[in-house]
Chains A and B, each alone.
Chain A
Amino acid sequence: MNKNNNKRPHYLNPYFGGVLLGLLVIATFYITGRGLGASGAVKSTVVETVETLAPQHAESSPYYSKYIPKDTSPMNNWLVFESFGVLLGGLLSGVIYGRVKKFRVEHGAHTTSAKRLVFAVLGGVLFGFGSQFGRGCTSGAALVGSASFSFGGVIVLISIFGTGYAVAYFFRKLWI
């Protein structure tokens, strides 16, 4: 990707990062009794948007209505605040390690930025859609679910990564 030589980005040792993440999961359970997540915040954003733009539709919808609390905004929700924290934490790390730069697209050597962006959106659409069936994403369902010995968590974990490996071949040009 960048052939002009930026020095190699400095990353934490992945096992160390994993230990930290594992400890964070335990700490989150210890403090809140639940795990962390991410897709839930996007869902709250969707519900909030639909509710703002078309309240009747939101309230009569069998799906959105479940997530509209009576006296407050759908965004007034633990996961939304936590995800905002994720943004901040990512920014903090990016600043410390010098990775915050102007907007750029990452892609494999054999593809273009444009193609990559198209697939990014499509991938996001699929992922968002699937995350509702899965009751979570890799963070909330797979990681936290498995860590807490939830059967569903392990199912989601295996399904995501198993499928990823199964279809990787078809998208290889995006990456390598």
Chain B
Amino acid sequence: MPLLIFSENCGFNSTFKILTMGPLIPNDIITGDWNFVIAILIGIAFGFILEASGFSSSRNLAGVFYGYNFVVLRVFFTAVIVAMVGLLYFDYFGWLDLSKIFILPTFLSPMILGGVIMGVGFVMGGFCPGTSFTGIAIGKTDALFFAIGLFLGIFIFGEAYPYFANFYNSGNMGNVTLTDVTGIAAPWFALGFTVIALAAFWVTAEIEKKVRKNMKEYKF
């Protein structure tokens, strides 16, 4: 029924035309020359948010795996659900053409393997690339060493590439979305992630309290 109401009210969509339809650069509303300026600005915002949330500290980051600090879960999961829900609304209001945005392609087996290796690297190193940059910015030596490790790791990959090039390129499902693969519409995923995230937030708040009680030496 809502579909009928909105389509009969011809003015509905136009009243929300507060923003020109994006994505702006692919639609040539902003020229490509601004690209790098925008890149830096977005990066600054990203780095600021990460550091201000405490992601420049490896101990804070690793805490999600041990229960003494769930900041990673909170920031990350909140960002995912806000973005998911937000993108759907942006699409609805006609501010963003979802068919024009880049969807990360899926290479099934390589990505699973990559994720596993990254998972180990994350726990060992206590950083991920973006957070390591913020760590370097405030003077964390372990962040610097992690970044050096990143460099070496990618280099080793590049050199050893011929040995697993076939595997690397396998499992290519294309730029598929969750909806493409499961046939379930996007709002279900947005809601699903939201419910799980919210539940996790409440539960982990309790877990964190308990774990911290037992960690006398927990300090920032």
A and B, direct touch (CB closer than 8 Å):
yes
Complex: A37 Cα to B56 Cα, angstroms: 16
Please encode chain A, from 131 to 173, with 1 for each CB lying within 8 Å of some chain B CB and 0 for all others: 1111111111111111111111111111111111111100110
Which B residues from 120 to 151 make CB contacts under 8 A with A?
Answer: 120-130, 132-151
Contacting pair A85 B161 (CB below 8 A): no
Partner of B124, one of A3, A78, A119, A137: A119
Closest partner residue, chain A, to B25 (CB atom): A32
Contacts of A100 in B (CB 8 A): 137-139
Interface of B is mostly: helix
Bin the interface of chain B by size: 35 or more
Contacting pair A89 B220 (CB below 8 A): no
Partner of A165, one of B65, B71, B87: B65
Which B residues from 151 to 182 make CB contacts under 8 A with A?
Answer: 151-159, 161-162, 165, 168, 173, 175-181
Minimal beta-carbon separation of B99 from chain A (angstroms): 11
Please encode chain B, from 100 to 111, with 1 for each CB lying within 8 Å of some chain A CB and 0 for all others: 111111111011
Complex: A19 Cα to B147 Cα, angstroms: 27
Contacts of B64 in A (CB 8 A): 161, 164
Contacts of A43 in B (CB 8 A): 154
Contacting pair A128 B111 (CB below 8 A): no
Interface of A is mostly: helix
User: Is B48 interfacial (CB-CB < 8 Å)?
Assistant: yes
Closest partner residue, chain B, to A127 (CB atom): B121
Contacting pair B83 A22 (CB below 8 A): yes
Complex: A39 Cα to B147 Cα, angstroms: 10
User: Is B49 interfacial (CB-CB < 8 Å)?
Assistant: yes
Partner of A124, one of B74, B86, B111, B127: B127
Contacts of A145 in B (CB 8 A): 104
Contacting pair B78 A120 (CB below 8 A): no
Contacting pair A150 B104 (CB below 8 A): yes
Partner of B100, one of A33, A108, A125: A33
Which B residues from 182 to 220 make CB contacts under 8 A with A?
Answer: 186, 189, 193, 201, 215, 217-220
Complex: A90 Cα to B45 Cα, angstroms: 9
Please encode chain A, from 84 to 113, with 1 for each CB lying within 8 Å of some chain B CB and 0 for all others: 111111111110110111111111110001
User: Is A69 interfacial (CB-CB < 8 Å)?
Assistant: no
Minimal beta-carbon separation of B57 from chain A (angstroms): 6
Complex: A155 Cα to B112 Cα, angstroms: 6
Binds A, one of B1-9, B10-18, B30-38: B30-38
Partner of A106, one of B42, B45, B59, B175: B59
Contacting pair B111 A134 (CB below 8 A): yes
Complex: A151 Cα to B49 Cα, angstroms: 26
Contacting pair A135 B105 (CB below 8 A): yes
Contacting pair B168 A133 (CB below 8 A): yes
Which A residues from 11 to 45 make CB contacts under 8 A with B?
Answer: 11-12, 14-15, 17-39, 41-43, 45
Closest partner residue, chain B, to A122 (CB atom): B124
Partner of B134, one of A21, A29, A87, A147: A87
Minimal beta-carbon separation of A15 from chain B (angstroms): 5
A-B contacts, 14 listed (Cβ < 8 Å): A15-B201, A18-B82, A24-B46, A32-B23, A35-B102, A36-B43, A41-B129, A49-B151, A123-B123, A124-B145, A129-B156, A148-B83, A149-B178, A155-B115
Enumerate chain A interface residues (CB-CB to B < 8 A). Answer: 1-3, 6, 8-9, 11-12, 14-15, 17-39, 41-43, 45-47, 49-50, 61-64, 78-79, 81-94, 96-97, 99-109, 113, 116-117, 119-168, 171-172, 174-176
A144-B104, A158-B115 known, 11 other contacts, Cβ within 8 Å: A22-B86, A87-B43, A90-B134, A113-B141, A121-B145, A123-B120, A126-B124, A129-B153, A150-B105, A151-B181, A160-B122
